[in-house]
C-alpha cells in the first residue's frame, strides 16, 4: 500500500504528556525503561501506526502543472487573438502572441515546480537514524522505524527522531529553533509539569520533539508520537492545507482580461452589423471587425507586466530581498499588516550586555561605564565563570550568553588569558536547569575563590552579604526588586556572587554555593537593529501596521516592541496561552489592538494571519523556522530569513531576506508599490494608444473618410509603440510620495482613481488629431496622406508616454533623463518611424512615402498637442492640490 494512502492512527492516547510522570508515561505505553520494546511488539506497532515519516501529498504531475499555466482567461483570449491573426494573414502578430503566451506559461511552470519542494524539504528535516533500546540492547535503526513506546537514546549533535517524554536528562540542552523560532538551547529535565495541552511547546521542558537537535548532554526518552502525529507532522499538515492565494495583480489582470474580451466582442459585433447594414460584403466586414479586435488586444501586456515584475525583483535582490515568485513583488505594495518575528529581524540576533548593576545598587549602561574596584570584581567574575572559548579560526564561540559576558569583560580591559594564568580553574559545578546556577572555583595566591552566576532568585537566596557593604544588613527584598526592575525592562538578568575559601572547597554544591557575597547583576539583551525604529515609523506613515509574533517571553518582546515603536504598553501584548482561549470572533477584535503576540505556536500564527485577512487586509508574514512555514504559506506574502532560516521556511515563502533585516521588508514594500504604479502607467499608455487606433479606424467611415491605416501599418505601430517605450516604464523611479499613501484596498480596480476615464479622454484626443491630420492631408495622394496620418498616430504616443511618467509632477521637473531607458526607447522609436518614412525598403513594405520638411514639421506640431494636453491636466491637478493644502493649513482664512 502506498504510505500516503494510509491514514496514520493516533497514538494509544492523546494526552498532555508533559503533565505525566516519566513512570506513568512508560506504563501507559506498555514498555520498559531498561529493556525497551521487544522486536515483535515493535513490528506490530509499526503495522498499526505506520512509519515514522512526514507523509507528502500526491505531487501534481508535470503535465498537469504545465496545462494549468494556460487556463487563465487572458491567456485564452490571447490564443484566440493569435488564431484570428493567422486567419487574416498577420502571421507576424500571431507568432508574437504565441511566443508571449509560451514565455509566460514557462515562467509560471517553473514557479509552481519550485513550490512543490516545500514538503520534500520538510520531510528531509527528520533524523535519518535513531538509537533505541530493543530486547534490552541498544540498537541503531532508521528513524522511520521508531514506534510509539520505543525507548530512544539521545546524544549531543544528534537529531530527535520522534516526540519524546524525557526519562533521564543529565545536563540535556536541545535547540528547538525549528519549532519555536528561538535560537537559545533549552534545558530539559524529566520532572512532570503543571498545565494542560495548551501549554506552549517552548515551556514543555520535559519533552523533546522530532526535528529538533541535541546541543549538549545526553538523554533517554519514551516515544509518545511518531510521523504525522508529531508536532513536526502537525506543521506539515498545516502547510499542506494552506490554500494557494491569488496575488492582487493576478486578480486584477483576470478581471481586466474578462472586461477586455467583452468590450472587444461588443465592438466587433457593432462594426460587423453597421457594415453589413450599410451594404458592405459580410465576409469583408467580418475580417475587418476581427482585424480591429486583434489591434485592440494589448498582446504585450502579460510580457511587459512579467518583465516589470522581473526588473522589480532584480532591484529588490540588489537590496538583499530575493523574490522566489514574481507576483510577490506587486503583492508587497498591497500589504497593510506586517507580522514580523523578533529575533534577528527586529534585533541583531546577538546577546549583548547592556547594563551592569555592581553591588545591586546602581544600574550602569555599559556604553559609558567606568570600571571601579567593585565593577572590576563583577566583570572578572563573569570572565572566569565562563565556558566560552576561541575556535580554530580564532573566533569566540560558545553559548551566546557566555560569549556576551566574555565580550563585556574584554571591552572593559579584562584579559581572560592573563586571569587563567593567575587564577586557574580547579573545579566547577556546571549549570543545570534545577539549580539554575553555575559555579567555578579558582586558585588564587593564598586562597581559593568560588564564583557563582545564575538566575537572581536562586543566587540571592544563597547570599549573606553584598560586596563593599560590610556590616550592612543583607536586604533580600531590595535586591530582588532591583533584579525585577531590570527584568521588567526586557533584560535577561544574571546575578553574580563569590566566596573566598582558605583551602580548596568541598565538591558538594549545597556547601559550595552558600554564604555567598553578591557582586551584582548583569543585564543582557538582544538589541534592536539601529534601522528598525525608522523602518517601523515609515510603515506607520505608509498606513501599514507592524505586529510582532514571537516565541519569546512577553516582557522581553514588549521591551523590544517599545524600543522600535511597535507597542507602548502591556495592553497591546497577548500570550499564546491567552490567545488559545479566545474564540475566532474575539481574536478578530483583538487583532485591531494587539501589536505583540508572545509564546505562540504554529497553529496560532495561522489563526492570527487568517483573522487579519478576514477583515480585508493583506498580510506579510516573516519567519525562519519550520514552525513558521504554515503561516508563511497562509499569508498573502511569506517572507523567510535567508541567513538563519530553514529550507522549509524558504521554500514556503515568496520572498527571502538575505540580510534578515526588517528594514529590507519596508524597502521591498516601497519597491512593490513602485512596480504597481508602473504597471498602471503602462496600462494607461498602451490602452490609450490602442483605443486611439480603434477609434480612428472605426470612426473614419462615419465621417466619410477611408480607412486611415493599412493592416501592416497597424501592426508596425503596435509593435513599435507598445514594445520598448512601454517596457521602459518599468524603470520609472518611485514618486516622492509613494510611502505617504495608504495601502491599496484589495478590491481596488485596476482602473480605479479615474484611469478608465483618462484612457477614454486621451484616447479620443489622439484619435481626433489623427483623423484631423487625415482630413487635412486628403488632398495629397494616398501614400502621402496615409504616411502623415501614420506618423501623427505614432509620434502622439511618444509625447504621451513622456507625459504620463508622473500623475502630477511635470516632465520638466522630473528631468527628461531621470528615466534614461525611456528616453532612449522614445528616441529609438522616433528614429525607426523616420526610417519608415525615408528608407526606400521600408517604404515598399509599409506602403509609405517620404514627407517634405513642412509635412514632417506639421506632423510633429500636431503630435505635440497630446503632450501639451496631458501636461496641462497635470498642472491643473497641482494647482487644485496646492489650493486644498493651503485651505487645510489656514482653515479660518
What integer is the mean pLDDT of 72-90?
Answer: 65
CATH 2.70.150.10 domain span(s) along the chain: 3-57+122-241
Beta strands in 176-312 (DSSP E): 186-187, 207-208, 213-216, 218-225
**What local confidence, expressed as pLDDT, does residue 433 receive?**
67
Q: Looking at the predicted structure, is the pLDDT value of residue 183 above 80?
A: no
Look up the pTM and report it. Answer: 0.68
Q: What is the Cα Rg of the chain in Å?
A: 36
Q: What is the pLDDT of residue 242?
A: 56
Alpha carbon separation from 517 to 359, 441, 494, 503 (Å, rounded): 9, 15, 14, 17
Domain with CATH 3.40.50.1000 in the chain: 335-348+530-667
| pLDDT given for residue 126 in this prediction | 41
Q: Name the residue with higher pLDDT: 401 or 163.
A: 163
Contacts of residues 70-77 at CB distance under 8 Å and 24 or more positions apart, as own/partner, are 70/101, 70/105, 72/254, 72/257, 73/254, 73/257, 73/258, 73/261, 74/253, 74/254, 74/256, 74/257, 74/260, 74/301, 74/302, 75/101, 75/104, 75/105, 75/302, 77/257, 77/260, 77/261, 77/297
pLDDT of residue 119 exceeding 50, the answer is no
The rounded mean pLDDT for the chain is 82
Average confidence (pLDDT) over 152-166 = 87
| pLDDT score of 787 | 94
Check if the beta carbon of residue 695 is closer than 8 Å to that of residue 764.
yes
Range of weakest confidence among 304-308, 486-490, 678-682 = 304-308
CATH number among 2.70.150.10, 1.20.1200.10, 2.40.110.10, 3.40.50.300, domain 3-57+122-241:
2.70.150.10
- pLDDT tops 50 at residue 885: yes
Mean pLDDT of 212-217: 79
Proportion of the chain above pLDDT 70, given as a percent: 82
Q: Which of the residues are catalytic? A: 341
Provide the pLDDT for residue 893: 39
Work out the average pLDDT over 765-771.
95
566: pLDDT strictly greater than 90: yes
Q: What is the pLDDT of residues 223-242, one digit of tens each?
A: 999 988 888 888 777 766 65
Q: Distance of CA 284 to CAs 280, 281, 287, 289, 699, Å?
A: 7, 5, 5, 9, 17
Higher-pLDDT residue of 433, 662: 662
Which listed CATH number (3.40.1110.10, 2.40.128.110, 3.30.420.300, 3.20.20.330) goes with 371-468+483-520? 3.40.1110.10
Q: For residue 90, what pLDDT band results from cuts at 50, 70 and 90?
A: low
| pLDDT for the residue 808 | 86
User: What pLDDT, on the 0 to 100 scale, is given for residue 207?
Assistant: 94
Question: Residue range 534-552: average pLDDT?
Answer: 91
Residue 631 scores a pLDDT above 80? yes
Q: Tens digits of per-residue pLDDT, 641-698?
A: 877 666 567 767 888 888 888 888 888 899 888 988 998 898 899 889 888 988 887 7
- At 463, the pLDDT band (50, 70, 90 cuts) reads very high
Beta-bridged to residue 214, according to DSSP, are 174
At residue 56's C-alpha, the angle toward residues 53 and 59, to 5°, is 155
- Number of Cβ atoms within 10 Å of the Cβ of 444: 12
- The class that CATH gives domain 335-348+530-667 is alpha beta
Question: b/e string for 694-711 if b means 16 or more Cβ within 10 A?
Answer: bbbbbebbeeebebbbeb
Residue 112 has pLDDT above 60, yes or no: no
Q: 109: closest CA among 77, 80, 70, 82?
A: 70
| 13 confidence band (pLDDT: 50, 70, 90) | low
Q: What angle do CA 627, 573, 203 make, to 5 degrees?
A: 45
Using the predicted structure, report yes or no on whether residue 851 has a pLDDT greater than 90. Answer: yes
139-153, 247-261, 392-406, 480-494 — which is least confidently predicted?
247-261
Instruction: Report the pLDDT averaged over residues 860-881.
Output: 93
Determine the pLDDT at residue 857.
95
CA atoms within 13 A on the CB side of 318: 6
Residues of the chain with CATH 1.20.1110.10: 668-889
pLDDT of residue 423: 94
* pLDDT for residue 716: 80
* Res 148: pLDDT: 94
Query: Residue 108: what pLDDT?
Result: 58
Average pLDDT over residues 720-745: 83
Q: Confidence band (pLDDT; 50, 70, 90) for 127?
A: very low
Q: Which 3 state secondary structure label does DSSP give 103?
A: helix
> Mean pLDDT across the stretch 377-394?
87
Return the CATH fold of 668-889.
Calcium-transporting ATPase, transmembrane domain (1.20.1110)
Q: What are the residue ranges of CATH 3.40.1110.10 in the chain?
A: 371-468+483-520
Q: Confidence class of residue 461 from pLDDT cuts 50, 70 and 90?
A: very high
**Helix locations, 116-141, DSSP H:** 117-124
DSSP 155-177: ETTPBP-SEEEEEE-TT-EEE-H
Which tens digit of pLDDT belongs to each residue from 783-841?
A: 889 999 999 999 999 999 999 999 888 999 888 889 999 999 999 999 999 999 999 99
Amino acid at each position: 500500500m502506498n504510505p500516503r494512502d494510509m491514514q496514520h492512527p493516533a497514538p494509544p492516547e492523546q494526552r498532555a504528556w508533559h503533565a505525566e510522570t516519566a513512570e506513568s508515561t512508560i506504563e501507559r505505553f506498555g514498555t520498559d525503561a531498561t529493556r525497551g520494546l521487544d522486536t515483535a511488539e515493535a513490528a506490530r506497532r509499526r503495522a498499526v501506526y505506520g512509519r515514522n515519516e512526514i507523509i507528502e501529498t500526491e505531487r501534481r504531475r508535470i503535465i498537469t502543472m504545465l496545462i494549468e499555466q494556460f487556463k487563465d482567461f487572458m491567456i485564452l483570449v490571447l490564443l484566440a487573438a493569435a488564431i484570428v491573426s493567422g486567419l487574416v494573414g498577420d502571421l507576424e502578430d500571431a507568432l508574437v502572441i504565441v511566443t508571449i503566451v509560451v514565455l509566460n506559461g514557462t515562467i509560471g511552470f517553473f514557479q509552481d515546480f519550485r513550490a512543490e519542494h516545500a514538503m520534500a524539504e520538510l520531510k528531509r528535516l527528520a533524523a535519518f537514524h535513531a538509537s533505541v533500546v530493543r530486547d534490552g540492547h541498544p540498537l541503531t535503526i532508521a528513524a522511520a522505524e521508531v514506534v510509539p513506546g520505543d525507548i530512544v537514546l539521545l546524544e549531543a549533535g544528534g537529531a530527535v527522531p520522534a516526540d519524546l517524554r524525557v526519562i533521564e536528562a543529565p545536563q540535556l540542552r536541545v535547540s528547538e529553533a525549528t519549532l519555536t523560532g528561538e535560537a537559545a538551547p533549552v534545558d530539559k529535565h524529566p520532572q512532570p509539569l503543571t498545565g494542560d495541552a495548551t501549554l506552549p511547546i517552548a515551556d514543555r521542558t520535559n519533552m523533546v520533539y522530532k526535528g529538533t537537535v541535541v546541543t549538549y548532554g545526553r538523554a533517554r526518552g519514551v516515544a509518545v508520537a511518531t510521523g504525522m502525529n508529531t508536532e513536526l507532522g502537525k506543521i506539515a499538515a498545516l502547510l499542506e492545507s494552506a490554500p494557494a492565494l491569488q496575488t492582487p495583480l493576478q486578480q486584477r489582470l483576470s478581471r481586466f482580461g474578462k472586461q477586455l474580451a467583452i468590450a472587444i466582442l461588443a465592438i466587433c459585433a457593432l462594426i460587423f452589423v453597421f457594415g453589413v447594414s450599410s451594404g458592405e460584403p459580410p465576409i469583408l466586414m467580418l475580417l475587418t471587425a476581427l482585424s480591429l479586435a486583434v489591434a485592440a488586444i494589448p498582446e504585450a501586456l502579460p510580457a511587459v507586466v512579467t518583465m516589470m515584475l522581473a526588473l522589480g525583483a532584480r532591484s529588490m535582490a540588489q537590496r538583499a530581498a530575493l523574490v522566489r515568485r514574481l507576483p510577490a513583488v506587486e503583492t508587497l505594495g498591497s500589504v497593510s499588516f506586517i507580522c514580523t518575528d523578533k529575533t534577528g529581524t527586529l534585533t541583531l540576533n546577538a546577546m549583548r550586555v547592556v547594563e551592569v548593576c555592581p553591588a545591586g545598587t546602581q544600574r550602569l549602561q555599559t556604553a559609558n561605564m567606568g570600571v571601579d574596584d567593585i565593577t572590576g570584581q563583577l566583570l572578572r567574575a563573569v570572565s572566569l565563570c565562563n565556558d566560552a572559548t576561541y575556535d580554530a579560526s580564532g573566533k569566540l564561540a560558545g553559548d551566546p550568553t557566555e560569549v556576551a559576558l566574555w565580550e563585556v569583560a574584554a571591552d572593559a580591559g579584562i584579559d581572560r588569558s592573563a586571569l587563567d594564568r593567575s587564577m586557574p580553574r580547579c573545579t566547577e559545578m556546571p549549570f543545570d536547569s534545577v539549580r539554575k546556577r553555575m559555579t567555578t572555583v579558582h586558585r588564587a595566591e593564598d586562597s581559593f575563590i568560588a564564583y557563582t552566576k545564575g538566575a537572581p532568585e536562586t543566587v540571592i537566596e544563597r547570599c549573606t552579604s553584598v560586596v563593599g557593604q560590610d556590616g550592612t544588613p543583607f536586604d533580600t527584598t531590595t535586591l530582588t526588586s532591583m533584579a525585577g526592575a531590570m527584568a521588567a525592562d526586557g533584560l535577561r538578568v544574571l546575578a553574580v556572587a563569590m566566596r573566598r575559601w582558605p583551602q580548596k572547597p568541598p565538591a558538594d554544591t549545597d556547601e559550595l554555593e552558600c554564604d555567598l557575597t553578591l557582586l551584582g547583576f548583569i543585564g543582557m539583551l538582544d538589541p534592536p537593529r539601529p534601522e528598525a525604529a525608522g523602518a517601523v515609523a515609515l510603515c506607520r506613515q505608509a498606513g501599514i501596521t507592524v505586529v510582532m509574533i514571537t516565541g519569546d517571553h512577553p516582557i522581553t518582546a514588549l521591551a523590544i516592541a517599545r524600543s522600535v515603536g511597535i507597542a507602548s504598553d502591556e495592553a497591546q501584548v497577548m500570550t499564546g496561552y491567552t490567545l488559545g482561549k479566545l474564540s475566532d470572533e474575539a481574536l478578530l477584535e483583538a487583532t485591531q489592538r494587539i501589536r505583540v503576540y508572545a509564546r505562540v505556536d504554529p497553529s496560532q500564527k495561522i489563526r492570527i494571519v487568517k483573522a487579519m485577512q478576514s477583515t480585508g487586509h493583506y498580510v506579510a508574514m516573516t519567519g525562519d523556522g519550520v514552525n513558521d512555514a504554515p503561516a508563511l504559506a497562509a499569508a498573502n506574502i511569506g517572507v523567510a530569513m535567508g541567513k538563519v532560516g530553514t529550507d522549509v521556511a524558504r521554500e514556503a515563502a515568496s520572498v527571502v531576506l538575505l540580510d534578515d533585516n526588517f528594514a529590507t521588508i519596508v524597502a521591498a514594500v516601497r519597491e512593490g508599490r513602485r512596480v504597481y504604479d508602473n504597471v498602471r502607467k503602462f496600462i494607461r499608455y498602451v490602452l490609450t494608444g490602442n483605443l486611439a487606433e480603434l477609434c480612428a479606424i472605426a470612426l473614419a467611415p462615419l465621417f466619410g473618410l477611408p480607412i486611415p491605416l493599412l493592416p501592416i501599418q497597424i501592426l508596425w505601430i503596435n509593435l513599435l509603440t507598445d514594445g520598448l517605450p512601454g517596457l521602459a516604464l518599468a524603470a520609472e523611479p518611485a514618486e516622492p510620495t509613494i510611502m505617504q499613501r495608504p495601502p491599496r484596498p484589495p478590491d481596488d480596480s485596476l482602473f480605479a482613481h479615474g484611469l478608465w476615464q483618462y484612457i477614454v479622454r486621451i484616447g479620443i484626443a489622439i484619435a481626433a488629431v489623427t483623423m484631423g491630420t487625415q482630413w487635412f492631408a486628403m488632398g495629397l495622394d494616398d501614400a502621402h496622406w496615409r504616411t502623415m496620418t501614420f506618423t501623427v498616430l505614432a509620434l502622439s504616443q511618444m509625447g504621451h508616454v513622456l507625459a504620463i511618467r508622473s500623475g502630477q509632477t511635470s516632465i520638466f521637473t522630473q528631468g527628461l533623463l531621470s528615466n534614461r531607458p525611456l528616453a532612449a526607447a522614445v528616441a529609438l522609436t522616433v528614429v525607426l518611424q523616420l526610417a519608415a518614412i525615408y528608407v526606400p525598403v521600408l517604404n515598399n513594405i509599409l506602403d509609405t512615402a517620404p514627407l517634405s520638411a513642412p509635412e514632417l514639421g506639421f506632423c510633429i506640431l500636431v503630435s505635440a498637442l497630446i503632450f501639451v494636453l496631458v501636461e496641462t491636466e497635470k498642472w491643473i491637478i497641482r494647482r487644485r492640490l496646492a489650493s486644498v493644502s493651503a485651505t487645510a493649513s489656514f482653515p479660518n482664512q
